[in-house]
Structure formats: C-alpha cells, structure tokens
C-alpha cells in the first residue's frame, strides 16, 4: 500500500498551528482539521481560539501563548500513516488515427472456432435474473440477452479475427484469480479457476469480455390483498426489474490499476465502428501490463534487498550485544581477580594468631591460585569480532 509515515513533534506542531490556520496545517499534512485538533490535545499543544485569524487579519494584536512544558505522561511526538497516490501511474494512451479498419459483416458466416463453440454454449445456457446469459465454462466471455446474441457474436468474431490478423493470439484459458482474505480472521476460500477470454499480445495476456447493459425499471406494486395493512412491513413494495437494453460494452478486465478500460455503444457511433480503437487499447494495455510487471519485479527486488539489509543489521546488532555482554563478563572477572590478590596481600600483612600460620598459608595459596584461574578465564576463548562469541563458555 502507498503510505508515508509522518512524525509530528510538539514543537513543530506548535509552530505550525500558530503560524497559519489549522485547516491549512491539516491540508499540508493530508489529514482532517479534527484530527489535527485531537493530536494537539494529545501532545498538550495550545491552539488558537475561534476567530483568532480573523482578528489577526483585521490588524488586531493577539498574544501567542507559550508552549507549556510536557509532563511525564505527555508524549513528545505523534506518528501517523498518510496515504499517497502511487508514484508514476501508468497511463494508457491510444492514437485513434492509427486504429485498424475492422468490418463487422451483416451475418455470421464462417465464424471463428471459438465463436462457433461459444455460440452453441450460449444458445442453450439458462438466462440469469437480468435476462442475460453468462458463460461458466470454456466459452468466450460474452454476457448478452438472446435478442442481442447474434449481433454480439458477429462483433466478437470480427474482433477475434482482426486481433489474429495483427499477429496476436486469442484463446479461452483458465485463470486463478487472487482471493481476498475473509473478514474476522477467517481463512479465505480456495481459489476457483475461471474461464476468461484472453488476447495474447507478445507474451502478455489481456483479459477482455463483451456484455450487454441493462436498464432498471420499477414495476407497480401488486394489488392489495384486502387484509388490513397497518404495519410498515405489511405494505406492498415496488418491484424493480433489470431489462437488457441492447447497448454493448467491451471491457478489459486486467488493466493495471483500479480503472477498467471500456469501449461502449454511443448515440452517434455503434461499437462495430470502434473495434479498431479497442484493438489499439488492448495493445496499449499489454504494454502497460508489462511495465507494471517490471515495476513489481523491481519493487520486489528492492523489498528483498531491504529485508536482507535489515536482517544483516539485526544480526550485527545481536552480535554486538553478545560481544558487549561477553566483554562485561570478562571485565568483571578481571576486576574480581585483582580484588582477590589485594585481599591476599592485606591478609598476609595482618599479624597471625597462634596456631593459624599453617592454615593461613594454605588458604592464601588457594586464594592466589583461584585468582590466577580467574585471570586465565579472562583470556579463555576470546571471541571473533566478526562472528561473535560462542553460545556459552565457562572458566
């Protein structure tokens, strides 16, 4: 997702809200003025009262309060995420003067094999609630009513043949569309393959389809039943029905971005006269798809490199922390060994009691021996700074 992370400090926000109106500050940040006011309350930043900027514009002197000191519970900054438009959006441009001439015959003669197969399927498939037939198998993506089927097949037949004459392939293939994650954390359902009409431009697949539009009409409510209908849910409701209107629309289904690329019948020009423009649109979308895929590959490589750098930084930090911990342990041992020797010298300088000379000498010998072993542990298995210390070591 295209987001920017913004950090607003108390001092910067204080200067902004007392330099220009909050509405302008909110516009520059990219959030609402209500959100700016909430952030100011959170950071304990005073804001101008209502009418302050009008009095300033009228030349009336106004006093600017000082920024109050932050308490122990007052945060020093606020971090937010702001949506931004994608960088370098891909534009699909079509030069109409370069459109090839495509002629739609008055009758369907010698149809393309895909059109022939789809015709038999669409003629026998059941109609939907809106009166249109929708392919659900290995057929062209054509969704029209029975009265418009002949015209739609002639348009698709001319379009498929013109695409092949331009050197492009046309096929019906299975496409596994991505499934959005279900709400509330439930696992998404398994993707089901769908059959789509695909124009293969080079090695790029452009999915397209032809559908008939519809008009929504409101039928009068059914006559009353004679029963006393006093409650709102007992009243008869108008019935809305969708009626195919005969207007055809060619749609590209996988254009980069969220915008759908369409070409429809108009009052002055039917879709039959604009098939050449649609072919140019298919070719332009294929170029845009390749550019989008190249950008996605570059972004994926950048993310992989960033993740690798992050892992290396984390590993360096972990190794550095382990080296410092190992250093502290060795320093403590070295200091302890020095104190042990000082203790031995201090005890040796003290006068001995009767009968304790032999035991004192034995204990001092052990103490000096132990101090020597502790000193040897200081330099025992010194770690490699490039690899860090071993998982554990003991003296």
Global confidence as pTM:
0.58
197 forms beta bridges with 172, 208
Q: Which of 144, 140, 137 is nearest to 111 (CA)?
A: 140
User: Where do runs of H (alpha helix) occur along the chain?
Assistant: 10-17, 22-29, 33-43, 52-57, 113-124, 149-165, 275-349, 357-378
Q: Which of 194, 301, 317 is nearest to 254 (CA)?
A: 194
- Measure the CA–CA gap between 288 and 34, rounded to whole angstroms: 40
**Backbone φ and ψ of 78, nearest 5°:** -135, 130
User: Which DSSP string do the residues of 30-68 spell out, in sequence order?
Assistant: TS-HHHHHHHHHHHT---PPTTHHHHHHTT---PPPPPP
What is the helix (H) or strand (E) element at residue 282, kind and residue range? helix 275-349
Domain ranges across the chain: 3-83, 96-178+191-219+237-300
- Measure the CA–CA gap between 264 and 267, rounded to whole angstroms: 10
CB neighbourhood size of 157 (10 A):
23
pLDDT per position in the chain (395 positions), as tens? 344 678 889 999 999 999 889 888 888 887 777 788 888 888 889 998 888 888 888 888 778 888 888 888 888 888 876 545 444 444 555 555 678 889 999 999 899 999 998 888 887 776 776 678 777 778 888 998 888 999 999 999 999 999 999 899 999 988 776 665 555 566 666 666 788 899 999 889 999 999 998 888 877 766 666 565 555 566 666 677 788 888 999 999 888 875 668 889 988 899 999 999 999 999 999 999 999 899 999 999 999 989 988 998 899 899 999 999 999 999 999 999 999 999 999 998 888 777 788 888 899 999 999 999 999 999 988 988 888 887 654 43
Burial of 322 (0-12, 13-18, 19+ CB in 10 A): middle
Q: Are 166 and 275 in contact (CB under 8 A)?
A: no
Q: Are 49 and 71 in contact (CB under 8 A)?
A: no
Q: Are 292 and 256 in contact (CB under 8 A)?
A: yes
SS3 4: strand
**Helix, strand, coil % (nearest 5) of the chain?**
45, 15, 40
Confidence at residue 229, expressed as pLDDT on a 0 to 100 scale? 55
């Amino acid at each position: 997702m295209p987001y920017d992370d913004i950090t607003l400090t108390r001092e910067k926000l204080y200067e902004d809200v007392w330099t220009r109106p909050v509405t302008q500050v909110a516009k520059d940040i990219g959030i609402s003025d209500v959100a700016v006011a909430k952030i100011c309350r959170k950071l304990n930043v005073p804001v101008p009262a209502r009418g302050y900027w009008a009095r300033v514009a009228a030349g009336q002197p106004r006093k600017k309060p000082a920024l109050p000191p932050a308490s122990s519970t007052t945060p020093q900054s606020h971090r937010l995420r702001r949506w931004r438009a994608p960088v370098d959006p891909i534009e699909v441009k079509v030069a109409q003067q370069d459109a090839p001439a495509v002629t739609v015959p008055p009758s369907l003669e010698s149809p393309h094999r895909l059109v022939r197969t789809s015709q038999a399927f669409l003629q026998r498939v059941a109609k939907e609630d809106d009166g249109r037939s929708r392919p659900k198998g290995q057929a062209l993506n054509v969704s029209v009513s029975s009265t418009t089927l002949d015209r739609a097949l002639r348009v698709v037949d001319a379009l498929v043949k013109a695409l092949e004459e331009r050197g492009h392939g046309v096929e019906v293939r299975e496409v596994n569309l991505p499934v959005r994650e279900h709400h509330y954390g439930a696992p998404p359902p398994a993707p089901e393959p769908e059959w789509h009409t695909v124009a293969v431009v080079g090695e790029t697949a452009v999915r397209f389809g032809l559908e008939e539009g519809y008009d929504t009409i409101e039928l009068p409510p059914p006559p009353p039943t004679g029963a006393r209908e006093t409650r709102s849910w007992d009243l008869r409701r108008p019935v809305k029905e969708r009626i195919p209107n005969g207007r055809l629309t060619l749609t590209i289904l996988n254009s980069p971005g969220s915008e759908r690329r369409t070409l429809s019948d108009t009052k002055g020009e039917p879709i039959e006269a604009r098939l050449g423009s649609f072919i140019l649109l298919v070719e332009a979308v294929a170029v845009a798809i390749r550019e989008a895929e190249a950008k996605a590959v570059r972004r994926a490589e950048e993310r992989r490199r960033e993740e690798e750098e992050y892992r290396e930084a984390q590993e360096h930090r972990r190794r550095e922390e382990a080296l410092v911990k190992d250093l502290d342990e060795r320093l403590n041992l070295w200091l302890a060994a020095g104190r042990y020797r000082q203790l031995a010298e201090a005890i040796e300088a003290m006068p001995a009691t009767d009968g304790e000379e032999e035991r004192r000498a034995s204990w001092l010998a052990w103490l000096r021996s132990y101090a020597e072993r502790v000193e040897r542990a200081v330099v025992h298995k010194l770690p490699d700074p490039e690899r860090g210390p071993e998982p554990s070591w003991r003296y």
